[in-house]
Amino acid sequence: MRMDGKTALPQPIPISPLKRAFDVIASAIVMVVLSPAMLIMFVLMGIEHMLRPVARGPILYKELRISQGKPFAFYKIRTFKLTALEKASGNGVVHTKKLEHDFRNLTITGMVLIQTYLDEFPQLFLALIGKMSFVGPRPINPEVYERDIASGKITLHVLKAGLTGRFQTHKSAKYGLVQKDVDMDYVHLCRNCSGLQVLRHDTRVLFETVYTIFRAEGI
């Protein structure tokens, strides 16, 4: 156990060699599969930048996120107008979730990128180099992390942040899944089961993720 202020937190669960190998292979495969779609999106973004000044700005934007209790630089393709991002910024933290519910905050290509999950493409590089895992709970900003830890939610402390997971590929209301329960099931799997069992689970999530992307359901 490790002490963080007055809160006792369990040690982070280490990444097994099999899971790490899967992260590298899965990230590389998905990058290759999605490269043609990303090339098209970059061309469309360039056209939109020329025709709509409100859409202009950097292609990427960076946020500070937490993985296993440690901060890291988290990159996404910019889908928001710069004016909307400025409004969502507070104390150096970008609060974008609320912005996604109002399409007026998004660029035209941004709407497509979010719906197809392609705005997360840079995170494949983070999984490739080990900053993230391919499967795991989504990374959160320091403000939310501190609040969750204070309330006893240790999932995001013990597991490395991931690009996708079972909840993200089944979050339609018809599945009736609760994210906290799904994440805790994954904690149990990573802590108590063999590397081969974790690999089998992550492989299934990989195929579910690709299927979800090509159905443009969003993750």
Q: Are 189 and 197 in contact (CB under 8 A)?
A: yes
Into how many domains does the chain fold?
A: 1
In a domain, 177, yes or no: yes
Q: What is the mean pLDDT of residues 16-20?
A: 93
In whole angstroms, give the CA distance from residue 60 to residue 138.
19
Q: Are 139 and 161 in contact (CB under 8 A)?
A: yes
For residue 83, name the pLDDT band (cuts at 50, 70, 90). confident
pLDDT digits (tens, 9 = 90+) for 88-100: 666 556 667 777 7
In a domain, 48, yes or no: yes
Report in angstroms the alpha-carbon separations of 95 from 11, 68, 135, 140, 151. Answer: 28, 21, 23, 10, 20
pLDDT of 172? 55
Closest CA to 120 of 172, 167, 169, 79: 79
Is residue 182 helix, strand or coil? helix
In a domain, 176, yes or no: yes
Report in angstroms the alpha-carbon separations of 53 from 80, 82, 84. Answer: 13, 11, 14
In a domain, 195, yes or no: yes
In a domain, 72, yes or no: yes
In a domain, 22, yes or no: yes
In a domain, 203, yes or no: yes
Q: Are 30 and 212 in contact (CB under 8 A)?
A: no
Residues 6+ apart with CB under 8 A from 83: 54
Domain that holds residue 121: 2-214
Sign of the CA dihedral with 177 first, then 181, 183, and 188 last: negative
Q: Look up residue 21 and give its DSSP letter.
A: H
In a domain, 219, yes or no: no
Question: DSSP assignment of 35-52, as one string?
Answer: HHHHHHHHHHHHHHHHH-
pLDDT digits (tens, 9 = 90+) for 155-193: 778 889 999 988 888 765 556 778 878 888 999 999 999
Q: What is the mean pLDDT of residues 43-58?
A: 93
